[in-house]
Structure 1
């Protein structure tokens, strides 16, 4: 559990994989890992998402951290735990969030308001996934930092290469990158362009 927090703090980028099937998801994971993005969640909006997690987990070194995203139900939490997910990400304080705590899996729990953030952390979440971050922007993280200086917050939802450094400078532990990073790579688009976008985002982290 400590490891994921430390690695998010160090690596700063969580890739969010949404694809049209497990094979395409795995292709995207390979591209991103090769490009240097090594904390990844496979969203369960991906058909066969748990299968993609299991295949990726068997293929990559333990230093590549692979989790499951969009976990809503307790059954989904059980499924991805069995597939070897190293952590769970939820869009809100879901039954899946509660179940991940029961299972002892690190939880990045979706929240937006201060009440939701505190509730998620009180539940036992490793960090609050502030979603959708774009709604209030980087300034919101500065405002949250005043009453919650030690709260681990991850910016997710509409975070792009321009705003990535702004969120990190405003106090976000890390950023979660979905469509601005993935583009159309999850549905048959260019993997080389995905690698180029990954490099752009990693440079944005360096700039921060």
Structure 2
């Protein structure tokens, strides 16, 4: 699969809801999904997602805070992991398991340290607080590594972050909130995809 523009963050999705939510996302053209671990039942939902659509979608674990969590999601078969912070042990463990690590950073020093540790991509977090000026300045000094804006990104500011130099965005509350229907997810996904497509127009 090509480098994703949108990573759907399904925080709090329940195991029995996974299939319908993934179908809604795929119907809207989103094929990369993160299931954060800081919600009850997250690992069961991750396993269900991988079992249902692991050959058609990129499915990974988010909020991976330590090497033990990394090992658990590796056993489940996660395609990638996202972290909210730079933890060398997690990045090294991901590399050892052959899992792509998208590492959370908020400073240039963290960004370069994450790349040196083996990060495949960088998660700029919290992006809305850091702003598009930070993205543009960081992009100017970084090698051509994928950058994802995460935290406070929605259809109103998505285009600005892409224009500033982000490859794409991780979308949480703007796309999915625990308990919403698959129909609601589809409608939000279509709106966000339209905002993304407007950037390229």
Same fold? TM cut 0.5: yes
Contact 1:132–1:156 (8 Å) recurs in 2: yes
**Which residue of the partner structure matches residue 13 of structure 1?**
6
**Which residue of the partner structure matches residue 69 of structure 1?**
62
Q: Does the alignment pair 1:54 with 2:60? A: no
| Alignment gaps of 5+ in structure 1 | none
**Which residue of the partner structure matches residue 125 of structure 2?**
131
**Which residue of the partner structure matches residue 178 of structure 1?**
172
Question: CA, structure 1 residues 18+25, in 2 after alignment: closer, same or farther (shift >3 Å)?
Answer: farther
Mapped to 1, the partners of 2:3 and 2:33 lie a distance apart of 12
Alpha-carbon RMSD = 1.7
Q: Which of structure 1's runs of 4+ aligned residues deviate more than 4 A?
A: none
Mapped to 2, the partners of 1:29 and 1:97 lie a distance apart of 27
TM-score, length-normalised on structure 1? 0.88
Mapped to 2, the partners of 1:47 and 1:162 lie a distance apart of 30
Aligned-residue offset at 1:40: 0.4
- Choose the corresponding residue for 1:205, options 184, 196, 201: 196
| Alignment gaps of 5+ in structure 2 | none
Contact 2:18–2:45 (8 Å) recurs in 1: yes
**Which residue of the partner structure matches residue 115 of structure 1?**
109
Number of aligned residue pairs: give it: 198
Deviations along 1:124-173, whole A, 9 cap, x unmatched? Answer: 11111010001122221111122225242111110111111111111101
**Which residue of the partner structure matches residue 101 of structure 1?**
95
Mapped to 1, the partners of 2:78 and 2:13 lie a distance apart of 19
TM-score, length-normalised on structure 2? 0.91
